[in-house]
């Protein structure tokens, strides 16, 4: 066998040995911890009673545009008991009639920027009256 062929054989054998060693090391490393898992859908409480409240939160990025994009159709279809909206960008006095005339949500609470009209803002619409509502931080 020529010297070159012998060197190539030795080099490939060394490379295979290194690969096996590397693979062996990787297999021994512990797996990374799971950072997030979807929570299971719980249809019953701990004592076995049926789930009875649906709460939805949505960053609407502008309430008037969200209404035009049929956001209320989704709300009516899902029928959450509590609907929380962020970034409404709408003062309480300038709310769309579609929102103010929703009989399924008789309890409506709004908070927005007092300095800039049409900036930020949050809303909470509820089917049942909350025990307590606090404004401000």
Provide the residue ranges of all domains of the chain, joining segments of one domain with +. Answer: 55-126
What pLDDT is stored for residue 47 in this prediction?
80
- pLDDT at residue number 108: 95
pLDDT of residue 63: 92
CB 64 within 8 A of CB 96: yes
- The confidence score (pLDDT) of residue 21 equals 52
pTM, two decimals, is 0.62
Q: Which residues are annotated as a binding site?
A: 59, 87
CB neighbour class for 96 (10 Å; exposed up to 12, middle 13-18, buried from 19)? middle
In terms of Cβ atoms closer than 10 Å to its own Cβ (0-12, 13-18, 19+), residue 127 is: middle
pLDDT at 22: 53
Residue by residue, pLDDT tens for the chain (137 residues) are 555 555 556 666 665 555 555 555 555 666 766 655 655 666 777 787 877 889 999 999 999 999 999 999 999 998 999 999 999 998 888 889 999 999 999 999 999 888 887 788 999 999 999 999 998 87
pLDDT computed for residue 88 by the predictor: 93
Known binding-site residue numbers for Mg(2+):
59, 87
pLDDT score recorded for residue 119:
82
């Amino acid at each position: 066998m020529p010297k070159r062929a012998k060197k190539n054989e030795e080099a490939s054998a060394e490379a295979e040995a290194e690969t096996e060693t590397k693979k062996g090391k990787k297999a021994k490393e512990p797996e990374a911890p799971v950072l997030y898992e979807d929570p299971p859908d719980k249809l019953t409480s701990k004592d076995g009673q049926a789930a009875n409240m649906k709460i939805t939160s949505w960053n609407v990025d502008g309430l008037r545009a969200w209404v035009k994009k049929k956001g209320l159709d989704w709300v009516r279809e899902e029928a959450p008991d509590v609907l929380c909206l962020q970034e409404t960008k709408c003062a309480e006095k300038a709310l769309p009639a579609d929102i103010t005339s929703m009989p399924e949500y008789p309890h409506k609470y709004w908070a927005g920027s007092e300095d800039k009209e049409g900036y930020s803002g949050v809303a909470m619409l509820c089917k049942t009256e909350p025990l307590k509502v606090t404004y401000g931080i």
